[in-house]
Amino acid sequence: MDRRELKAIIEALLFVWGDPLSLKDISQIVELDISLIKDVLKEMMDEFDYNLRGLKIVQVEDTYQLSTRPEFYPWISKLSQNKDNKSLSNAALETLSIIAYKQPVTKAEIEAIRGVRCDKALETLLNKKLIEEKGRLEKTGRPILYGTTKEFLRYFGLKDIDELPPLLDIELDDEFENLEN
């Protein structure tokens, strides 16, 4: 098969699958080397961007997925006004930001930073699969540790957590520092 046909096959696989598809899976399906598949996907991503197609290929870690371009959101949003896809509230965004930058983090640590309870925000983020339980802290009560998911990376268009913009240096008050110890 030539490169043009391989690109068409990969595009069809990404379209039909819908969810992120790993390099390993694509490689096994087309029976070609992972490094070749990675090169072809990079070419496809560049071509989709250069031609300003309505779709783009999004990479999250070692998985790839077809996605609509964010700049076309105003038109796509008119197509479906589904309540389940509402944007996140300010409280949920604040909570998600804390989790993204401090992970793994407990509910008590989040509440100490925000200064208010975060039960509803955590429930929303868990339901949207933007965060997940990463384990439990080895201390009294064994509080749950929260962290972000691959869905979080996809939602915000990040390859990995290292692509988060840097935080400004902010001095933590003594009360919060005591919570961590």
Provide the domain limits for residue 48.
Answer: 3-72
| CB 58, CB 67: distance < 8 Å | yes
pLDDT in tens, the chain (181 residues): 899 999 999 999 999 888 899 999 999 999 999 999 999 999 999 999 999 999 999 999 899 999 999 898 888 877 766 545 567 888 999 999 999 999 999 999 999 998 888 989 999 999 999 999 999 988 888 999 999 999 999 988 899 999 998 877 555 554 455 555 4
Q: Decide: helix, strand or coil at residue 75.
A: helix
For residues 100 and 161, state if they share a domain. Answer: yes
**What letter would DSSP give residue 84?**
G
2 CB-near residues (< 8 Å, 6+ apart):
none
Pick from 117, 108, 116, 176: nearest CA to 144: 108
For residues 37 and 100, state if they share a domain. Answer: no
For residues 174 and 93, state if they share a domain. Answer: yes
Phi, psi of 56 (to 5 degrees): -140, 165
The enclosing domain of 107 has a CATH number of 1.10.10.10
Q: How many residues does the chain have?
A: 181
